């Protein structure tokens, strides 16, 4: 308290300090800011699932791949298109260092029978005469390992698969591909493309939307506060908070991760509240005691607000700090720096408003008449509200319970899902290409099922191969599975060819010798490296590649359930099942993220209850104070469930933060109310005064934040729309919950004389902490 | 018309070669050396056990032993090979006939698990020999006319005097340039380097031991390293015998099913 009053008395020193700090942070951001878009950097690399995946990826050469679709409406089987495919295949490998290998129709090998000969030869002979191409078409259509997988069944499109050993700039590739257009149409798909676009689009869109949010907020603040000065102060506070957060991040050489683009959004929503409450209190004193001196006004308003503002800042910061329990490094940084931003906003709000009084004199709130009218109107509004609350408490309780029941019912319908693709509009190029690939080929997403045994030659056992085959068959029953490929697939194809396509020959032979001899034969006549993608050198581990037509984590879970069913079967052969691939890692990652957020949500709830209880020296107040945010959480999840918005790491993040913000309303209400009561007001008087005074600030705050973030709902980027919508929803619920059910509950407890014990009511002095 | 020109050209080439040969009689030309290598006596018939050790990029190893029989007769090279180990492919056999007149090879495989002989597609000289780092070309002898040869220098390897011959392929090859270290006077290679089209070294062949058996030099231990794929194959030869008596039916489908001689 002393710190704030004495510092606020030196406004020039304060301004100087803020300016110098801002300058340092701006310079640091300008010089050191590095945007980290590589999703791998988010992954907790020491997690067992990740380590198993990395090991298998290196053993079987599993790599992320970019898919280039070559489509010719009249069919790809013509010399021009085939030659073009060949040229692209060669050029990709030569021109991009990040591309490890390229597989296309002109490089793929065929296992075929030709008058009883076993041949493993490329489909493409290098000849493009009509006869050669027709033969190639016939061979493609006879081999299920490529037909419908790399070549569309109607013969109008094929895939060129570029495996990456490094990240590639998807934009550069998109542009590069256009030079090959005509008459063929070329499209680029695959996880690296989607991730790249996502990592770029999110921050880019936020950069466009953010100034719009700020402008809207400025307009709303000005309309609500009717003071240029206080609007400016508010914006200085929120921008300074953002600056501190990013400035420190860059000073410490921590890269800016995509999730950090949420920080400015959060800090604006939070910081505005501190300024509005300061404004509101100063405004209140000015109206009640117009004759106060500058110094008295500054000291009084500071004295009244220092406790609730520090408390609200701490509870919010705790919501963020709780994120540091996450296993995901960027989320931990996000929590830390957002908390730092919140605390600096709090400091600045407490300093800047009193300092402005010292520097610029008492604020002359303009349009005093209009303001008075508004005030009276608000007064009547709050009086009406009070009347409603006090006379119809049962109705409020009933409505609240009804909302809760609907919320819980909706929550039960919430489904957990993370999908990179869901972030794109259905008519966007990325979503459309993905759709095209999924309907014509195996699918854009890949899951690798890794079978680990320890006995050499284990995967030559017919029983093991049969189990693999039957699992693959079960997996393929799911329409979301495009196809599967494993050693069993190779063996079946070889058996069919060797038995000259006799009935039932597309199957696993029942002798290990035969399997071994087929494999030997394949090794001799084919490219032995192809086999190394499905089985290791000693035949102790195998890789089943499952192509999926969706990257949704919910879909992946269904697939994993089918695999789990086979665990005991493989366990009989001492084979363990693990998974690999970037799709699986992203799945584990989002599960971890979600789990972390739900844990941190629980942690912040518990800490908020304890803090409130300590602050008001009463556990019941602690519990009652969290009722509005509990309702907020239930409504949030309920609405998500009812509207079919999946719970993803992003939406869970917003929820946990909204709750940290929402509790502030309850703190302000309870603080003012208990102060009134301690000041000797009656129950009704205290309620009226609190609703008039704090209620106004809460509504102003909610309107400004909701208005600002409503702008995000017009974003072209769906995830940013969800962020906007959820913030608006949560702000509204928190404000409404605080001003209705919290008031009713406090009243009820007061009547039972359990809310503020006589002991506390007797003790009129309270220390500021 | 074209044939005529070609003929005249070859005559010209021969003349020039002849002139050059007389001039540099002291050191044989690259082409001479490679012809010597090509024509070196390797015995009309031979049998041996091959132990092939293939190491992949991760250091995992597959070992196979193969009994091999060879006969050169009437312009046909007949080869019969039986797998001795690993046990699950034991008695799998290969039969091949290569024709000097340029006809493509005939190849057969016998899989004991289905007790059937299959004819398999003829392999290209550049194909991997039994899934190893050796090609069929490496296992046989490459015709000298396929390349242009040049002696670069003399070099001594482990006290053995060698001539380093550079061979540039006339046609399109995976390794258009090779360097061979040929033992002066004995006409077998001690070392060979294979260069990729971009000029980098793609493979190296090293000879770790050789023996003179019945007056014929036999390489008994050699290793091919693929520097691109980081894989290697070592082939050891045991129980080498020359001048064997194969009856007329030995290189046959019937023998494939019967198994090795011993």
Least confident of A34-43, A84-93, A602-611, B253-262: A34-43
Nearest to A156 by CA among A436, A443, A435, A432: A436
Q: How far is A66 from chain B (nearest CA, A)?
A: 23
Give the span between the Cα atoms of A205 and A674, in whole angstroms.
Answer: 44
Q: Is the pLDDT of residue B98 over 60?
A: yes
Contact across the interface for A512 and B88, Cβ inside 8 Å: yes
Contact across the interface for A528 and B60, Cβ inside 8 Å: no
pTM for this one? Answer: 0.78
Q: List A216's β-bridge partners, or say none.
A: none
| Element (DSSP H or E) covering residue A451 | strand A445-452
- What percent of chain A shows pLDDT beyond 90? 21
pLDDT band at A381 (very low <50, low <70, confident <90, very high): low
Mean pLDDT score, A42-59 = 83
pLDDT at A369 (0 to 100):
40
How far apart are the two ends of chain A, measured CA to CA in Å? 8
User: Regarding predicted confidence, which is higher, A481 or A522?
Assistant: A481
**Main-chain dihedrals φ then ψ at residue B208, nearest 5 degrees:** -100, -25
Choose among B86, B131, B229: nearest Cβ to A524: B131
Choose among A116, A523, A528: nearest Cβ to B119: A116
pLDDT at A115 (0 to 100):
58
Do A196 and A37 touch, CB atoms closer than 8 A?
Answer: yes
Average pLDDT, chain A: 84
How many Cβ pairs within 8 Å bridge chains A and B? 71
Is residue A561 helix, strand or coil? Answer: helix
Is residue B261 helix, strand or coil? Answer: coil
pLDDT band at A368 (very low <50, low <70, confident <90, very high): very low
ipTM of this complex:
0.77
Contact across the interface for B121 and A114, Cβ inside 8 Å: yes
Give the span between the Cα atoms of A187 and A174, in whole angstroms.
Answer: 8
pLDDT at B123 (0 to 100):
61
Axis crossing angle, helix A429-440 with helix A191-225, rounded to the nearest 10: 150
pLDDT in tens, A548-565: 988 888 888 899 999 999
pLDDT at B22 (0 to 100):
46
pLDDT at A485 (0 to 100):
92
> Which residue has 């910061």 as its token pair?
A317
Least confident of A641-650, B7-16, B214-223: B7-16
- Interface probe, candidates A517, A521, A527, A540, chain B, greatest B C-beta count within 10 A: A517
> Which residues of chain B make contact with A516, given a CB cutoff of 8 A?
86, 88-89, 113
Alpha helices per DSSP H over A413-486: 429-440, 462-477
Q: List A416's β-bridge partners, or say none.
A: A647
- Interface probe, candidates A94, A525, A531, chain B, greatest B C-beta count within 10 A: A525
Q: Which fold has domain A2-32+196-412+588-762?
A: Multidrug efflux transporter AcrB transmembrane fold (1.20.1640)
Choose among A117, A524, A538: nearest Cβ to B60: A538
Q: How far is B59 from chain A (nearest CA, A)?
A: 9
pLDDT at A217 (0 to 100):
86
Is residue A189 helix, strand or coil? Answer: strand
Kindly give, in sequence order, each residue whose CB lies less than 8 Å from that of residue A329, ignoring residues fewer than 6 positions away: A41, A42, A44
> Which residues of chain A make contact with B58, given a CB cutoff of 8 A?
59, 537
Asked if residue B103 has a cis previous peptide bond (ω within 30° of 0), the answer is no
Give the span between the Cα atoms of A219 and A475, in whole angstroms.
Answer: 56
pLDDT in tens, B221-259: 999 999 988 899 999 999 999 988 888 789 998 899 888
User: And the tokens for A343?
Assistant: 């605390």
Give the span between the Cα atoms of A269 and A262, in whole angstroms.
Answer: 11
pLDDT at B101 (0 to 100):
78
> Which residues of chain B make contact with A457, given a CB cutoff of 8 A?
86, 88
Do A751 and A744 touch, CB atoms closer than 8 A?
Answer: no
Highest mean pLDDT among A1-10, B139-148, B186-195: B186-195
pLDDT at A712 (0 to 100):
81
Q: List A151's β-bridge partners, or say none.
A: A147, A158
pLDDT at A367 (0 to 100):
47
User: And the tokens for B254?
Assistant: 């019937």
- Residue A525, judged by CB atoms within 10 A of its CB (0-12, 13-18, 19+), counts as buried
Do A225 and A704 touch, CB atoms closer than 8 A?
Answer: no
Q: Is the pLDDT of residue A384 over 60?
A: yes
- What percent of chain B shows pLDDT beyond 70? 87
Q: Is the pLDDT of residue B14 over 70?
A: no
Choose among B89, B114, B121: nearest Cβ to A117: B121
pLDDT in tens, A59-96: 888 888 888 999 998 888 988 899 999 999 999 988 88
Contact across the interface for B119 and A513, Cβ inside 8 Å: no
Q: Which fold has domain A61-195?
A: Alpha-Beta Plaits (3.30.70)
Q: How far is B202 from chain A (nearest CA, A)?
A: 17
Give the span between the Cα atoms of A739 and A382, in whole angstroms.
Answer: 10
Nearest to A672 by CA among A684, A662, A686: A686
Pairing mode, strands A35-36 and A256-257: parallel
Is residue A760 helix, strand or coil? Answer: helix
pLDDT at A644 (0 to 100):
82
- Cα→Cα distances B34→A240, A414, B28, B184, B216, Å: 81, 78, 10, 11, 17
Mean pLDDT score, B77-106 = 87
Highest mean pLDDT among A297-301, A345-349, B112-116, B125-129: A345-349
Q: Is the pLDDT of residue A389 over 80?
A: no
| Element (DSSP H or E) covering residue B45 | strand B45-55
Kindly give, in sequence order, each residue whose CB lies less than 8 Å from that of residue B164, ignoring residues fewer than 6 positions away: B151, B152, B153, B154, B155, B179, B180, B181, B182
pLDDT band at A370 (very low <50, low <70, confident <90, very high): very low
pLDDT in tens, B19-31: 554 444 467 888 8
| Element (DSSP H or E) covering residue B162 | strand B160-169
Give the span between the Cα atoms of B108 and A106, in whole angstroms.
Answer: 28
Q: Residues of A at the B interface (Cβ-Cβ below 8 Å)? A: 59, 114, 116-119, 121, 457, 460, 498, 509, 511-514, 516-518, 520-521, 523-525, 528-529, 532, 536-538
* Domains of chain B, start order: 30-258 (2.50.20.10)
Do A594 and A647 touch, CB atoms closer than 8 A?
Answer: yes
Choose among B58, B86, B89: nearest Cβ to A537: B58
Q: How far is A178 from chain B (nearest CA, A)?
A: 28
Task: Kindly list the domain boundaries of chain A, sorted by start residue.
Answer: 2-32+196-412+588-762, 61-195
Give the span between the Cα atoms of B28 and A678, in whole angstroms.
Answer: 115
Contact across the interface for A528 and B113, Cβ inside 8 Å: no
Choose among B58, B92, B120: nearest Cβ to A517: B92
pLDDT band at B17 (very low <50, low <70, confident <90, very high): low
pLDDT in tens, A455-492: 889 999 999 999 999 999 999 999 999 889 999 999 99
Q: List B180's β-bridge partners, or say none.
A: B165, B192
Choose among B109, B123, B127: nearest Cβ to A521: B109
Choose among B56, B118, B130: nearest Cβ to A537: B56
pLDDT band at A233 (very low <50, low <70, confident <90, very high): very high
Nearest to B144 by CA among B218, B16, B37, B10: B37
Contact across the interface for B83 and A513, Cβ inside 8 Å: no
DSSP structural state of residue A41: G
> Which residue has 């040869």 as its token pair?
B149
User: Regarding predicted confidence, which is higher, B120 or A677?
Assistant: A677
Other CB atoms within 10 A of residue B254 CB: 10
**Chain B nearest-CA residue for A59:** B58
> Which residues of chain A make contact with B61, given a CB cutoff of 8 A?
537
**Chain A nearest-CA residue for B229:** A529
Q: Residues of B at the A interface (Cβ-Cβ below 8 Å)? A: 56, 58, 60-62, 83, 86, 88-89, 92, 109, 111-114, 118-121, 123, 127-128, 130-131, 229
């Amino acid at each position: 308290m002393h710190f704030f009053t004495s510092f606020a008395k030196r406004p020039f020193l304060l301004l100087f300090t803020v300016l110098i700090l801002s300058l340092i942070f701006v310079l640091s951001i300008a010089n050191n800011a590095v945007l980290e878009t590589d999703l791998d950097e988010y992954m907790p690399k020491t997690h067992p699932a990740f380590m198993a995946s990395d090991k298998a990826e290196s053993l079987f050469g599993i790599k992320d791949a970019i898919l280039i679709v070559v489509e010719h409406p009249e069919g790809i089987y013509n010399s021009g298109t085939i030659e073009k495919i060949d040229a692209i295949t060669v050029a990709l490998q030569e021109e991009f260092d990040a591309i490890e290998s390229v597989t296309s129709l002109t490089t793929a090998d065929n296992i075929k029978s030709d008058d009883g000969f076993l041949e493993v030869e490329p489909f493409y002979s290098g000849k493009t005469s009509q006869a050669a191409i027709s033969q190639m078409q016939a061979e493609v259509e006879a081999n299920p390992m490529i037909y419908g997988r790399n070549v569309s069944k109607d013969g109008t499109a094929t895939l060129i698969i570029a495996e990456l050993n490094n990240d590639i700039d998807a934009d550069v590739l998109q542009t590069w591909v256009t030079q090959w257009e005509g008459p063929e149409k070329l499209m680029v798909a695959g996880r690296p493309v989607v991730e790249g676009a996502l990592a770029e689009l999110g921050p880019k869109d936020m950069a466009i939307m953010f100034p719009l949010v700020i402008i809207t907020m400025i307009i709303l603040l000005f309309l609500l506060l009717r003071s240029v000065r206080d609007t400016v102060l508010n914006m200085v506070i929120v921008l300074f908070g953002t600056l501190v957060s990013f400035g420190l991040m860059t000073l410490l050489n921590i890269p800016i991760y995509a999730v950090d683009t949420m920080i400015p959004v959060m800090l604006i929503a939070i910081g505005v509240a501190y300024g509005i409450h300061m404004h509101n209190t100063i405004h209140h004193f000015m109206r009640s005691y117009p004759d106060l001196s500058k110094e008295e006004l500054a000291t009084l308003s500071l004295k009244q607000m220092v406790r609730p503002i520090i408390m609200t800042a701490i509870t919010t910061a705790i919501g963020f700090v709780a994120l540091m329990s996450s296993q995901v490094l960027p989320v931990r940084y996000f929590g830390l720096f957002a908390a730092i931003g919140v605390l600096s906003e709090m400091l600045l709000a407490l300093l800047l408003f009193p300092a402005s009084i010292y520097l610029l004199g008492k604020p002359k709130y303009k349009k005093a008449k209009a303001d008075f009218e508004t005030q009276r109107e608000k007064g009547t509004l709050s009086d009406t509200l009070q009347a409603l609350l006090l006379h119809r408490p049962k109705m409020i309780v009933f409505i609240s319970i009804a909302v809760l029941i609907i919320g819980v019912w909706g929550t039960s319908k919430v489904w957990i899902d993370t999908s990179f693709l869901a972030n794109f509009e259905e008519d966007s190029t990325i979503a459309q290409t993905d759709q095209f690939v999924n309907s014509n080929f195996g699918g854009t997403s890949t899951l690798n099922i890794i079978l680990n045994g320890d006995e050499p030659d284990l995967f030559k056992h017919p029983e093991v191969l049969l189990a693999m085959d039957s699992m693959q068959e079960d997996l393929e029953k799911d329409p979301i599975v495009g196809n599967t490929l494993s050693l069993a697939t190779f063996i079946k194809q070889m058996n069919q060819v060797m038995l000259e396509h006799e009935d039932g020959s597309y199957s696993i032979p029942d002798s290990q010798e035969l399997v071994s001899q087929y494999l030997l034969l394949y090794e001799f006549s084919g490219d032995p490296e192809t086999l190394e993608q499905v089985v290791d050198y000693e035949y102790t581990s195998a890789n089943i590649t499952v192509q999926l037509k969706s990257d949704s984590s919910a879909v992946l879970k269904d697939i994993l359930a089918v695999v789990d069913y086979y665990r005991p079967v493989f366990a009989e052969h001492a084979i363990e099942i693990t998974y690999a691939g970037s799709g699986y890692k992203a799945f584990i990652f989002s599960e971890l993220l979600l789990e972390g957020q739900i844990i941190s949500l629980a942690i912040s709830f518990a800490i908020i209850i304890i803090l409130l209880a300590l602050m008001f020296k009463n556990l019941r107040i602690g519990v009652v104070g969290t009722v509005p945010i509990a309702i907020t959480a239930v409504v949030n999840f309920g609405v998500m469930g009812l509207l079919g918005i999946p719970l993803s790491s992003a939406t869970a993040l917003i929820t946990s933060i909204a709750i940290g913000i929402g509790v502030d309303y309850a703190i302000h209400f309870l603080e003012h109310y208990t102060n009134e009561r301690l000041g000797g007001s009656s129950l009704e008087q205290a309620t009226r005064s609190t609703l008039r005074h704090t209620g106004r600030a809460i509504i102003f705050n909610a309107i400004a934040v909701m208005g600002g973030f409503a702008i995000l709902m017009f974003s072209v980027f769906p995830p940013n729309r969800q962020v906007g919508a959820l913030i608006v929803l949560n702000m509204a619920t928190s404000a409404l919950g605080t001003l209705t059910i919290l008031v009713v509950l406090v009243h009820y407890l007061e009547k039972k004389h359990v809310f503020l014990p006589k002991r506390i009511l007797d003790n009129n002095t309270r220390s500021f902490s | 018309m074209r044939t005529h020109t070609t003929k005249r050209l070859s005559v010209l080439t021969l003349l020039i070669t002849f002139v050059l040969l007389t001039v540099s009689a002291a050191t044989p030309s690259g082409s001479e050396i490679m012809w010597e290598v090509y024509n070196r006596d390797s015995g009309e018939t031979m049998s041996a056990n091959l132990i092939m050790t293939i190491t992949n990029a991760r250091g995992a190893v597959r070992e196979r032993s193969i009994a091999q029989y060879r006969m050169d007769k009437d312009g046909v090279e007949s080869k019969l090979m039986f797998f001795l180990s690993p046990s699950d492919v034991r008695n799998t056999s290969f039969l091949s006939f290569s024709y000097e007149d340029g006809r493509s090879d005939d190849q057969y495989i016998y899989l004991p698990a289905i007790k059937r002989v299959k004819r398999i597609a003829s392999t290209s000289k550049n194909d991997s020999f039994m899934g190893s780092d050796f090609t069929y070309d490496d296992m046989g002898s490459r015709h000298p006319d396929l390349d242009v040869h040049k002696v670069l220098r003399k070099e001594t390897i482990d006290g053995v005097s060698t001539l380093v011959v550079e061979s540039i392929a006339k046609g399109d090859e995976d390794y258009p340039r090779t360097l061979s270290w040929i033992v002066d006077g004995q006409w077998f290679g001690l070392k060979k380097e294979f260069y990729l089209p971009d000029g980098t070294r793609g493979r190296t062949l090293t000879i770790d031991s050789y023996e003179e058996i019945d007056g014929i030099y036999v390489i008994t231990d050699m290793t091919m390293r693929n520097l691109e794929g980081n894989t290697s194959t070592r082939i050891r030869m045991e129980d080498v015998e020359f001048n064997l008596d194969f009856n007329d039916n030995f290189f046959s489908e019937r023998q494939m099913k019967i198994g090795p001689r011993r």
